[in-house]
Amino acid sequence: MIGRDELHGVLVPVVTPFLPSGELDLASYTRYVEKLAEHHINGLIINGTTGEAPTVRWDEVVQLTRATQQILKEKQRSIPVIIGTGTNDTLTTVQRTELAAALGADAVLVVVPYYSRPSQEGIIEHFRRVTEVGVPVIAYEIPARTGVRLTMHTAKTIMEMEGVIGMKDSSDGLDLVTELTRQDAGAVLCGDDLYYHAKLSQGASGGILASANLYTDIFIEVHDLVQKGMVMEGKRSFDRVVPLIRKLFQEPNPAPRE
């Protein structure tokens, strides 16, 4: 398991390759994760939306997790494995979080409940129940997909919960990261790839970035430069991948054009 102080740097949400039959392509997945593991990344996210969480069955999540753990063991890499368990149903989210804990997940990624657009109090209670499982939780704010935006009070309340180690901020702006870091509320990870450098400059500790599946070392370099106070140098490095990010997000994630 990982703590707040370990939640930093570049975390990569993995894609899920399939065979034409619709079954998992574990051979391709193994080669792919082996390649990612060569980089100095700080986490792998299984069953995020980049990995097609809305359509991947839980038994497939189990296969992907076990394959990832085996690859890292063979490579002798201690990269945290984080599993996406969030749904818009609290009971299902809790159950999936329990299953992820049993699989040995180092943390879980839990999205704000989507579609049903619960009240702020309901969102807080949703996360409170998930934290009771005992596995570290990364909250995930992405109002463009959930249909509801966290207030600053709600975000801070969630971040202060015992068991919540940080938040993935895909709020399409700088307000959330600026205020949370100003109040020293905990680790904030950028989830908007185009805002990566800007959010690092506002105090984000890293990013969960779909684009970092490609040119991974450049994204790591951007983080390291900003952390050293070399903000403009980090901006120049980031500018190298901006065209890539724009091209990848021409279509909704996870279906970028070539």
Secondary structure class of 24 (helix, strand, coil): strand
Say if CB 168 and CB 208 are below 8 A apart.
yes
- Dmax over CA atoms of the chain, in Å, equals 50
Q: Report, as residue numbers or ranges, the catalytic residues.
A: 140, 168
User: What backbone phi and psi angles, to 5 degrees, belong to 242?
Assistant: -60, -45
Question: Angle at CA 107, nearest 5°, toward 164 and 77?
Answer: 140
- How many other CB atoms are found less than 10 A from the CB of residue 78? 8
d(CA 11, CA 220): 9
Structure tokens at 9: 């740097």
d(CA 3, CA 14): 21
